[in-house]
Structure 1
Amino acid sequence: MSSPAMDIKLDCTSTNLDNYNLPLRIGSVFIVLAASAFAVFLPLGIQRLLKSGTKSTTTEWILVIIKQFGAGVIVATAFIHLLPDAFETFGNSCIGELSFDAWPGAIAMIGVLATFSIENIGHRIVSERIKHVKARLAKDAASEPLLRSITEDTVEMPPPKPLANGHAHGHGHGHGHIQNFFAHSETHVHSHGHTLFELDRSSDDNVKITKELSESIDRLSLYVLEAGIVFHSVLIGVTLSVTRASGWPSLFIVVLFHQIFEGMALGTRIIDVTSLSQTRKYTLCLCFCMITPLGMAIGILARSNYAGESSPVALWAMGTLNSLSAGILLWVSLVELLAEEWMHGDLHEASAPVSLLGFLSVVLGAALMSMLGNWA
């Protein structure tokens, strides 16, 4: 004899979207677009204002607050928003009985390891390129004569000009092209009957190479962060557009605040990568602005055939993408944003007031995002 639970036949083919207010749903797309644009472009606007004016302690504190608040938002997005949603999705009865209950955690772990592997490979590629550049510089330096002795009776040369990265003493004669070679060197010229050029290559090239390596790593981390945000932002948009009328208002408010907080977090990370051109910064911001409204538009167009809350295929897709996004954001937030900034970055030796302000900003960002996750 079957139990009552076994007699209930689940409808896993469609979702009933009653009282679907199409004009309201279309209008919400533009509201989310405007809120996302305001949030992600706000840090860029603040940066431009700071560059045009004189830096002060207050402005530096504002930057610390925004950056650390954004880090807290990203941490909470992974722990409170994405992972619980993934567990709930995989726990849906329409997906069937799973032989492995920890699928969301396993997929998130894959996301963490995949992100680590991508960044590690990127670091290795950049490091190899840097090694080749250093080897070429060393070879070029060795091919130049280290000592040149030219008598004062040869071609007349004007006194050496002060160098941007070095200094010069005395007067002498020689060939004009020598000065070009010394443009990146610290040069000493002494007059004792002969003009003796003692080449002492400065560390400018190494400093430049090290900076280039750091900038490449920062860009890679930013692209990984954007990828993680893009993955789940599409799902957020689709989910909002296919939500029943009864639950739509509260979810819309949550998504709106989610876009604002996450946009600020991404914007602060974008301005932190100083090697990016303005065009690329604006492109990354526009991608964030458009991705959730794009998901909402897809949901509106596909609403009549949508079975996301009941289709096993759609549930697997949503659960997998949410889990992967959680893993990516966990790595980026904990390793790239918090550990890097607090252990090796600007906050490593910051004063006690600045450190306390930064920590409270992290807690505030995480707390507000957690409240939104609980509300949804």
Structure 2
Amino acid sequence: MRMVLQASPGLATSQQMNETVSSSQDMDMVGVGADDAYDVNLQVAGVFIIMAASVLGMGLSYAFGSDAQAPSNGLLYLSLQMLKGCGVGVIISTALIHLIGEAYEPFEDAGMSEIYEQWPMVFAMVGMFLMAILEFVHHRLEFRSRHYVASAAEVEHPDATLPAEGMPAEVTLNPLQGDGAHDESDKEVVTKSVASKQRSAVLVELSILIHSVLIGFDLGLQTKSQWVPLVIAITFHQFFEGFAVGQIVLDAQFTFWKKFAMTAFYSLTTSVGIAIGIATYLGQNYDGQSKAANITIGVLDSICGGLLLFAGMSVFWPEWFVTNHKLCQADSLVAPSVGFFGVALGMVIMSVIGIWA
């Protein structure tokens, strides 16, 4: 026996090498290395961690409430200004860094950058263009409806004194004018402004939901070494983004059940994406590096980024701060300063998180 072993060292070595190579290949295929294993238990835990962070973010926003009822010189009001500012900064940073900025990589992987390098900007402009058309159509219908109401009022009460040009409450025609007080003649105007805010809120959440599914799907495909830093970053991402969405939902004055639906959709979509990623990884039937997959992810991220960027820059930032009558007419600059500081803080937070997620 000893003689056989000594006479065939080359054979034994060859067999050991083949077994080692085979074992290494198997480890690469299924990801069972010590430091780079695919841990299903961790992935399942991630589903609930992300869900909890999402609910906490929106719940905290609801707990603070809206600044409409808060005294303009109180600590609660100033806190709300900063937190709403954070929400605006998170929305804008998410659009620029987490959506449009990250869309460059899939376009490069698909080979599209060899044709043209700025595809993310192209599709971001498509998203902004679509959002602008929706805004225009809504405001056009709103203008025409108010003209009709004014004309009907003149016919019914020809001796009544109407505001300039026969337009009741013309000064509140722009929905970006903040939360000023309105008299009885403005009820129709206020209702339409709320409808405009609700439409913007739905579009913003829809864009975020698509993005949430994609980042959840990506997390569900990660092995252990990549999962830990990524889940931490996404947890903070979902929390701060959830707070921003919560402020937008509050501003839109949805009913309880609509608020519940908006919260549920936001809280579940990333976790649903993780579950899809887990199933895809275990099924080994997804080629994440295919040209079609990369182009799809790049286009969706870019368009959603354009929608969010338009909403943040043209709707929420002006409405909440830049053209807000309450802040512009305030005797002190404390509240506006706190609000703009919140915007900068939200941008910084999401920009730092963008290093990992």
* TM-score under structure 2 length normalisation: 0.78
Counterpart check, 1:28 vs 2:46: yes
Contact 2:38 2:223 in 1 (8 A): yes
CA shift digits 1:177-205 (9 cap, x unpaired): xxxxxxxxxxxxxxxxxxxxxxxxxx956
- Higher-helix-fraction structure: 2
Instruction: Please report how far the alpha carbon of residue 96 of structure 1 lies from its aligned counterpart in structure 2 after TM superposition.
Output: 5.8
The question of 1:348 aligning with 2:351 is answered no
Q: Compare the two structures and name the one with the higher strand fraction.
A: 1
Aligned to 2:275: 297
Residues 69 and 54 of structure 1: CA distance in aligned 2, closer, same or farther (over 3 Å): closer
Which residue of structure 2 lines up, in the alignment, with residue 262 of structure 1? 241
1:222/1:270 contact within 8 Å kept: yes
Deviations 1:325-350 (A, max 9, x none): 11111111111111232332143334
Show the counterpart of 1:373: 354
What is the CA deviation profile of residues 31-79 of structure 1, one whole-angstrom value per residue up to 9, with x for unaligned ones? Answer: 111110111121112229997x988601111111110011111111112
Check whether the contact 1:126–1:216 (CA below 8 A) recurs between aligned residues. Answer: no
2:57 equivalent to 1:78:
no
C-alpha root-mean-square deviation of aligned residues, in Å?
2.5
Aligned to 1:41: 59
Match of 1:111 among 127, 144, 154: 127
- Residues 1:89 and 2:106 are matched in the alignment: yes
Q: TM-score, normalised by structure 1?
A: 0.74
1:69 equivalenced with 2:86 (yes/no): yes
Alpha-carbon contact 1:307-1:314 (below 8 Å) kept = no
The 5 Å alignment of 1:217-232 reads 217-232=196-211
C-alpha distance after superposition, 1:112-170 (max 9, x if no partner)? 1111111111222233333333333333335xx99xxxxxxxxxxxxxxxxxxxxxxxx
1:326 aligns with one of 305, 314, 335? 305
1:342-376 per-position Cα deviation (integer Å, ceiling 9, x unaligned): 33214333421112211111111110110010233
1:126 match: 142
Q: 1:132 to 1:50 in 2, by over 3 A?
A: closer
Identify if the C-alpha distance between structure 1 residues 17 and 138 changes in structure 2 by more than 3 Å, giving closer, same or farther.
Answer: farther
Name the aligned partner's letter for residue 104 of structure 2: F
Which SS does the other structure have where 2:354 is aligned? helix
Match of 1:288 among 237, 253, 266: 266
Structure 2 residue identity aligned to 1:286: A
Aligned mates of 2:188, 2:66 — CA distance in 1: 27
CA contact (8 A) 1:76 1:366 kept: yes
Shift of 1:225: 1.0
Structure 2 CA distance for aligned equivalents of residues 229 and 354 of structure 1? 28
| CA distance in structure 2 between the partners assigned to 1:332 and 1:48 by the alignment | 19
Q: What do the CA deviations read for 1:63-101 (whole angstroms, capped 9, x no partner)?
A: 111100111111111122112210011111x54664222
Give a deviation string over 1:308-327, Cα, whole Å, max 9, x none.
53111111111111101111
Q: Alignment length, in residue pairs? A: 301
Distance 1:54 1:85, change over 3 A: closer
Stretches of structure 2 lacking an aligned partner (at least 5 in a row): 1-27, 32-36, 161-181
Q: Is the CA contact (8 Å cut-off) linking 1:70 and 1:365 kept in structure 2?
A: yes
The residue number in structure 1 matching 2:195 is 216
User: Aligned runs of 1:83-232 on 2, under 5 Å?
Assistant: 83-92=100-109, 94-95=110-111, 98-142=114-158, 206-232=185-211
